[in-house]
Amino acid sequence: MPAVTMTVNGVSRSADVEGRTLLVDFLREQLALTGTHVGCDTSQCGACVVHMNGQSVKSCTCLAVDADGADVTTIEGLANGADLHPMQEAFREHHGLQCGFCTPGMVMSAIDLVNRNPSPSEGEVRHWLDGNFCRCTGYHNIVKAVMAGADAMGGGS
Amino acid sequence: MSDNGSNGTGFIGASLKRKEDARFLTGRGRYTDDINLPGQLYAHLLRSTVAHANLGSVDTSAAEAAPGVHAVFTGPDMEGVGGVPTGWLIHSKDGSPMVEPAHPAMAIGKVRHVGEIVAIVVAETRDQAREAAALIDVDYQDLPAVASLEAARADGAPLVWDEADGNLCYDWEVGDRAAAEAAIDGAAHTVSIDVVNQRLVPNAIEPRAAIGNFDPTTGEYTLYTTSQNPHLIRLLLGAFVLGLPEHKLRIVAPDVGGGFGSKIPHYAEEAILTWTAGQLARPVKWTSDRSEAFVSDTQGRDHISTATLGLDEDGKFVGLKVSTQANLGAYLSTFATCVPTYLYGILFAGPYTTPAIYCEVEGVFTNTVPVDALRGAGRPEATYLLERLVDKAAAATGIDRVDIRRRNFIREFPYQTPVALQYDQGDYDATLDLALEASDWDGFEARRNEAAGRGKLRGIGISTFIEACGIAPSAVVGSLGARAGLYEVGSVRVHPTGSVSVFTGTHSHGQGHETTFAQIVAETLGVDFEAVDVVHGDTNAIPFGMGTYGSRSLAVGGTAIYNAVQKVIAKGKKIAAHLLEASEEDIEFADGNFTVAGTDRSKSIGEVALTAYVPHNYPEGLEPGLEETAFYDPLNFTFPAGTHVAEVEVDPETGEVELVAVTGADDVGRIINPMIVNGQLHGGLAHGIGQALLEHCEYDDEGQLVTGSYMNYTMPRAGDLPNFNINHNTTHCTHNPLGVKGVGEVGSIGVPPAVINAVVDALSPLGVTHIEMPATSQRVWQAIQAAQAQD
């Protein structure tokens, strides 16, 4: 089995994986980072979004071996102790989550948007979130949260 | 105490941030698939690839020999285990009980829909289980399938069940047929409509999962499952399927990633995983993938209806007759039979005074995935039909769409409808007025003209509706065939130092119960919001419960908690009276303090709690401790109501519909947490808009699901939806102490007809009078072409 080494939430992690192991399964099953979720099998829903080298990726759509040597951040790596990341705080403040299942992917995706586009318009937020499904919120408060989070991030993380 | 039963501490009515959010935002939620037990094995379920077949041999030998495999079981291995039960017995017009076929957990002899479970493979890893399942050789001897209502009810149609002639499960009715027909026959105007309410896939973003476990030393089974109602699962799984007593069966529904009705039913997978864990004395885990969910989660709606409304010269509705066929799928899921009957036919008064109403429903078996509740469950189907029909009546009579609704509103309460329900309270004019103002209804023609200048057809649509939440009371639903009570249970434990644990039989999977219920307790008990935690989802921790569905949790579960608090206060008064050397009758309770009336002598709830647990100076004969449980069985449904307005622009060249604006004016009863209530409205609106414009679950004639993934089943995405304009006008429910009604399903009930009425309004200059849901670009374009061809 191939060995992989990657930095996950600031900590170097090494493990043997099967060649076919998806990054999301590596994170959830081998590293017990269960904040990253799996909501579909066609790369549509975005519940599995993490950052790889600072950019959002759907971790159900890349192999663990693809992340060898990469710097991976998951939802567990965002907060600084009890201090939430500004985007997490914005989701809390604006009720941008209900059941919480899509939330990690939404937050990770939203941060990448703001890194690329510090002051997105509402239309740009809605367009960017095309790859993140939510069945609970109707997106109304998610969009509000992302725009507020963008403001709070001061244009980038 | 104020009129809302609160102590004025301000927790009720405040948009407090949610207690749940910290864990969800940091990846520390605990969903079923996040749980792994020591020694856990993994299951893969082999599912039928055909819609209807005799099962010949099922050769599992190669799978059993595959690496890592511990066991393979098929239907006959579980023979003798009870079948999966259904929760409501419906009787037909002639008094005969519905056809209630056997529902084995795994197929025996026949398969009846794509996705039915044929075998379970248990292995060391998920991949090993999946790969071994591919080695099972199943001899499917194909039979002709019926995949639609039309096919199932056609003369000579193949039978899903030999015992169900014409594939009919039941032929039910409600209301007075003769009175409705006589009223329609004598009416000045009649309008008719044929409508399809299409099949939908619920699509909670968390796929279902289950972990069965068995402890041979205690004989106790534990099932972790993605359920909206763990006690109901324990009841059905224990009493009906596996024959296990409650004290040896624990059901845990931890964090659940959305339900929308699809996580109400007791599923075969829950029985199979629990039983398999017992066979192997090892924990066994199954997690559905999305493709599997599309063919195994219960689906929703799927009606074909025809209806006629009679009106007098003044546009008053005089009679309504509805005939509906409802697709139940291949097996009867838990609430499959009551959704198109007792949650549908009884809604046809809507907010109107129609004096004679009759509804008949054929429940029909097909070779498709079982159908059960989906957000709204019966009420969206009724509301859509009624509100489309009212718009047609307006067009036929030349009466304005708003005016015709207003002419027919119920204004005197309580109001007994001709279809069983009695509405306790409402103010339909108020929500209508609010919606018209908030949507700038009167300014619409200017917007239509402006859009026309851009080559767009702009339309506006309205629906005025009621819903019925918190189905009750138990005795009545029992007389109508329900096999369970519909009460709820709340337990309030005041700890020795004054913090509080609340135990509820409802289940929160997005609704924010941990916050809302804590607000009720903090307010009524006069303690700090942070001092209250709500526990749900574990049958070993919570006395009992019926769970969360039908927008019942606050009205029924919240009231049970409120009543338990009142019991705590009553006991606290005895303790305080003793401590204060006063008469119990002289003790008043407010803001967390027990006070001797007319004095400043008081004891706090914390002091009373400590005394209850350290009863050194204590009333004689009174039990120590400060913990109370209440079972609350409501006297009636609650009746939220409202008006929804939708505005669309249609591109006549492409048929594309842009939803420009959505306005809601809702009466959902007293609001505990406005932030959460508005969030529920947003979600329901998105679900309803999804039905109106995007979503459609389709099977081909052979019963193969055509829309079996997110690649071809259109989920609402952020870019498909506008911001929502939410407004409230509140009347209080008269028969629960909090005055609360329900909110979770409002959007999915009220908005679909508003959207379709808007699309039809936009297209009406072209001569289009109806369009089926979902109003996709293709459908709209075809409707435009057909209308133009007729010109």
Q: Which domains does chain B carry?
A: 21-29+487-632 (3.30.365.10), 424-472+640-790 (3.30.365.10)
Element (H, E) at A6: strand A3-8
- C-beta separation of B486 from B544 below 8 A: no
Take residue B405 and report the two structure tokens written for it. 């609704």
Task: Map tokens 């060898």 to a residue.
Answer: A68
CATH number of A3-76: 3.10.20.30
Average pLDDT over residues B97-107: 97
Mean pLDDT of B37-47: 98
| Section A18-31 average pLDDT | 97
Shortest Cα distance from A135 to chain B (angstroms)? Answer: 6
Average pLDDT of the residues in B558-573: 98
Contact assessment for residue B431 and residue B667, using Cβ atoms and an 8 Å cutoff:
yes
CA nearest neighbour of B22 among A82, A140, A74: A82
The SS3 of residue B123 is strand
CA geometry: angle B112, B375, B340, nearest 5 deg: 55
For the segment B647-658, the average pLDDT, to the nearest whole number, is 98
Whether residue A1 lies within 8 A of chain B, CB to CB, comes out as: no
For B638-644, what is the mean pLDDT?
97
Give the span between the Cα atoms of B485 and B552, in whole angstroms: 13
Amino acid in the structure at residue B631: F
Cα torsion at B555, B558, B559, B562 (round to 10°)? -160
d(CA B593, CA B608): 9
Q: Does A45 touch chain B (CB under 8 A)?
A: yes
Cα dihedral B659/B665/B668/B671 (nearest 10): 100
Compute the average pLDDT of residues B555-575.
Answer: 98
| DSSP-derived pairing of the beta strands B41-47 and B53-59 | unpaired
* Position B66 confidence tier, pLDDT thresholds 50, 70, 90: very high
Residue of A nearest to B509 (CA): A99
Q: Is B347 on the interface with A (CB under 8 A)?
A: no
A134 touches chain B (CB under 8 A): yes
Determine, for residues B721 and A138 on separate chains, whether the beta-carbon distance falls below 8 Å. yes
Q: Tell me if residue B322 falls in helix, strand or coil.
A: strand
* Residue among B260, B676, B683 whose CB faces A138 most closely: B683
Domain boundaries, chain A: 3-76, 86-153
Mean pLDDT in residue range A15-19 = 96
- Distance in angstroms (rounded) separating the CA atoms of residues B161 and B168: 9
Using an 8 Å Cβ cutoff, are B664 and B724 in contact? yes
Q: Do B205 and A47 touch (CB under 8 A)?
A: yes
- Token code pair at residue B610: 């400590």
B38 at interface of A, judged by CB pairs closer than 8 A: no
What tokens does A38 get? 């799996």
Pair of tokens at residue B708: 């079996």
Q: Cis (ω within 30 of 0) for the bond into B619?
A: no
Residue of B nearest to A46 (CA): B205
A contacts of B27 (beta carbons < 8 Å): 33-36, 74-76, 104
The answer, yes or no, to whether residue B633 has pLDDT greater than 90, is yes
Write the DSSP assignment of B197-239 as a string of letters. Answer: EEEE----SSPPEEEEEEETTTTEEEEEE--S-HHHHHIIIII
Token digits for A81? 């102790």
For A129-143, give the DSSP string: GGG---SSSTTHHHH
Q: Which of B154, B550, B85 is nearest to B364 (CA)?
A: B154
The answer to whether the Cβ–Cβ distance between A97 and B512 falls below 8 Å is no
Would you call A90 an interface residue with chain B, using a CB distance cutoff of 8 Å? Answer: no
How big is the CA angle at B576 (ends B572 and B580), to the nearest 5 degrees? 175
* Contact state of B205 with A102 under an 8 Å Cβ cutoff: yes
Q: Which H or E run includes B594? A: strand B593-596
A156 has a pLDDT exceeding 60: no
| Res. B79 pLDDT band, cuts 50 70 90 | confident
B residues 191-210 closer than 8 Å to A (CB): 203-207
Find chain B residues with C-beta within 8 A of A20's C-beta.
Answer: 127
Report how far residue B455's alpha carbon sits from residue B762's, in angstroms, rounded to the nearest whole number: 12
Torsion angles phi and psi, residue B568, rounded to 5 = -60, -45
Residue B400, chain A, CB below 8 Å: the answer is no
Residue of B729, B670, B675, B724 whose CA lies nearest to B434 = B729
> What values do phi and psi take at B380, rounded to 5?
-65, -35
* pLDDT given for residue B479 in this prediction: 87
ipTM surpasses 0.95: yes
Which of B78, B43, B83 lies closest to B213, judged by CA? Answer: B43
- CB pair distance less than 8 Å for A135 and B17: no
* Best CA proximity match to B119, nearest among B171, B194, B63, B170: B63
Question: Which B residues 726-765 touch A at CB under 8 Å?
Answer: 747
- How far CA B484 is from CA of A14, B5, B476, B487, B489, in Å, comes to 53, 30, 11, 9, 14
Angle of helix B746-763 relative to helix B379-397, nearest 10 degrees, comes to 30
Choose among A76, A99, A130: nearest Cβ to B510.
Answer: A99
- Give dist(CA B517, CA B301) in Å, integer: 31
User: What does the pLDDT average to over B271-286?
Assistant: 98
Tokens read off for B451: 């859009």
- Alpha-carbon dihedral angle through residues A82, A131, B663, A100, given to the nearest 10 degrees: -30
Please answer yes or no on whether B717 and A93 come within 8 Å at the CB atom. Answer: no
Contacts of B251 (CB under 8 A, 6+ apart): B222, B223, B225, B227, B230, B231, B233, B234, B237, B538, B539
Q: Across all residues in chain B, what is the average pLDDT?
A: 97
Gap from B626 CA to chain A (nearest CA, Å): 32
Contact between B365 and B152 (Cβ < 8 Å): yes
**Contact at CB, A97 and B205, closer than 8 angstroms:** no
Q: Which residues pair with B732 in a beta bridge?
A: none
Tokens read off for B413: 């309460």
Lowest-confidence range among B27-31, B375-379, B480-484, B543-547?
B480-484
Instruction: Kindly identify which residue of chain B lies nearest to residue A141, measuring between CA atoms.
Output: B679
Say how far apart CA B594 and CA B605 lie, in whole Å.
7
Give the nearest chain B residue to A96 (CA atoms).
Answer: B679
At B245, the amino acid letter reads P
Average pLDDT over residues B516-534: 97
B242-256, pLDDT tens digit by residue?
999 999 999 999 999
Tokens of B711: 């690649």
Distance between CA B180 and CA B356 in Å, rounded? 5
Distance from CA of B407 to the nearest CA of A (A): 33
Mean pLDDT of B685-711: 98
The amino acid at residue B368 is: T
Tokens coding B294 = 């599309």
Least Cα distance to A142 among B770, B25, B715, B349 occurs for B25
- The answer to whether B594 touches B573, Cβ cutoff 8 Å, is yes
Chain B interface, best mutation among A50, A98, A128, A143, by max B CB count within 10 A: A98
B577-621 pLDDT, tens digit each:
999 999 999 999 999 999 999 999 999 999 999 999 999 999 999
Provide the shortest C-alpha distance from residue A68 to chain B (in Å). Answer: 22
With beta carbons under 8 A apart, name residues in chain A contacting B23.
100
A73 interfacial to chain B (CB closer than 8 Å)? no
The answer to whether the CB atoms of A41 and B709 lie below 8 A apart is: yes
Nearest to B675 among A95, A107, A134 (CB): A95
Question: How far does CA B680 lie from the centroid of its chain?
Answer: 13
Distances (CA, A) of A95 to A45, A103, A151, B24, B687: 20, 11, 17, 12, 18
pLDDT the model gives residue A155 = 60
Distance from CA of A5 to the nearest CA of B (A): 22
Tally C-beta pairs within 8 A across A and B: 179
Question: Residue B704: which residues within 8 A CB-CB, separation 6 or more?
Answer: B51, B114
CA A49 – CA A27 distance, rounded (Å) = 12
Residue A100: pLDDT band with limits 50, 70, 90: very high
Domain A86-153 carries which CATH code? 1.10.150.120
Yes or no, beta carbons of A84 and B26 under 8 Å apart: yes
The pLDDT value recorded for residue B616 is 97
Contacts of B715 in chain A (CB under 8 A): 44, 133, 135
Query: Angle at CA B204, nearest 5°, toward B150 and B752?
Result: 55
What letter would DSSP give residue B456? -
Confirm or reject contact between A136 and chain B (CB < 8 A): yes
On the question of pLDDT at B482 being above 50, the answer is yes
Name the minimum distance, in Å, from the CA of A65 to any CA of chain B. Answer: 18
- CA–CA distance, B611 with B670 (Å, rounded to integer): 35
DSSP secondary structure of A29-85: IIS--TTS----SSS-S-TTEEEETTEEEETTSSBGGGGTT-EEE-GGGTSBTTB--
Q: Is A155 on the interface with B (CB under 8 A)?
A: no
- Interface check for B67 against chain A (CB to CB < 8 A): the answer is no
Which pLDDT score, from 0 to 100, does residue B9 have? Answer: 66
Contact between B326 and B364 under an 8 Å Cβ cutoff? The reply is yes
What pLDDT sits at residue B8?
52
Contact yes or no for B683 and A137 at CB 8 A: yes
**Hey, are the CB atoms on A126 and B710 less than 8 Å from each other?**
no
Q: How far apart are CA B468 and CA B551, in angstroms?
A: 9
Q: How confident is the model at residue B1 (pLDDT cuts 50, 70, 90)?
A: very low
Contact A33/B at CB under 8 A: yes
- Kindly state the tokens that stand for B781: 């374009």
- HEC secondary structure over B112-174: CCCCCEEEEEEECCHHHHHHHHCCCEEEEEECCCCCCHHHHHCCCCCCCCCCCHHHEEEEEEE
From chain A, the residues in CB contact with B260 under 8 A are 135
> What's the pLDDT tens digit per position in B300-352?
999 999 999 999 999 999 999 999 999 999 999 999 999 999 999 999 999 99
Residue B6 has pLDDT above 80, yes or no: no
Asked if residue B473 has a cis previous peptide bond (ω within 30° of 0), the answer is yes
Checking if the pLDDT of B3 tops 80, the result is: no
- Please, which residues 287-326 of chain B have a Cβ atom closer than 8 Å to chain A? 289-291
Q: What is the DSSP string of A92-129?
A: HHTT--SS-SSHHHHHHHHHHHHHH-SS--HHHHHHHG
pLDDT for B141 equals 98
CA-CA-CA-CA torsion sign (B288, B290, B296, B297): positive
* CB distance B391 to B315 below 8 Å: no
Would you call A45 and B710 a contact, using CB atoms and an 8 Å cutoff? yes
